[in-house]
A and B are shown apart, each in its own frame.
Chain A
Amino acid sequence: DAGVIQSPRHEVTEMGQEVTLRCKPISGHNSLFWYRQTMMRGLELLIYFNNNVPIDDSGMPEDRFSAKMPNASFSTLKIQPSEPRDSAVYFCASREGQANTEAFFGQGTRLTVV
């Protein structure tokens, strides 16, 4: 398996523009997580899905952020409109089964909003 695949790897956009980050989890994994990593705040859990259903989105910073998982092999994280403070590395991770199993991370998307 190719692992968790995220795209794009790097994104530079202007403030106010819409940004869409994409994630393809490992086949057969039923949990998917979106994280944001910054120097100041570390690794923050934004939202996670079990069996394509959002379970907890309490980490989503505000209404400008939205996430979807239309099927088991694809998820998106959208920011509209983007702001400079959204600049960060966004990671997607997937996991098979229960809470004691390993989560596999993608390489991340480095987002810069200017």
Chain B
Amino acid sequence: GDSVTQMEGPVTLSEEAFLTINCTYTATGYPSLFWYVQYPGEGLQLLLKATKADDKGSNKGFEATYRKETTSFHLEKGSVQVSDSAVYFCALSGGQAGTALIFGKGTTLSVSS
């Protein structure tokens, strides 16, 4: 069935460092891919998305490119801030599982000043 695999955390960085969080997926068909972010004590909120191969999603300095050949959707940011500290989830929808929204286990990012 459809699944999402993220790199294990936590990821600890200093302010202004470069961030990469790896995400790969398994799905039949052409799923849409998402990154969601969860701040402490809150629900998840959409960070960015891509709906077809080679699309690049971007928001708040974060970006990710839908790579069908490597089944990947890695999240990157050139210069992280303390306020970026949160849990990041990679997700897919629309593959074999139909319209279900399937998440990876999440990666905790901690940024220090």
Contacts and interface: CB of A to CB of B under 8 A. Distances in A.
Interface of A: 4, 31, 33, 35, 41-43, 45, 48, 50, 55-56, 91, 93, 95, 98-100, 102-108
A45 B100 contact: yes
Contacts of B97: 56
A102 B49 contact: yes
B9 to A, nearest CB: 11
B98 interface: yes
Interface residues of B, number: 23
B93 A99 contact: yes
Interface of B: 31-32, 34, 42-46, 49, 51, 89, 93-94, 97-106
A60 to B, nearest CB: 13
6 contacts: A42-B106, A45-B102, A48-B99, A93-B44, A102-B34, A104-B45
Contact of B43 (A42, A48, A99, A108): A108
B49 A100 contact: yes
B99 A99 contact: yes
Contacts of A56: 97-98, 100
B106 to A, nearest CB: 6
Contacts of A93: 43-44, 101
Given A43-B89, A43-B106, A99-B94, A31 B99 contact: yes
B93 A102 contact: no
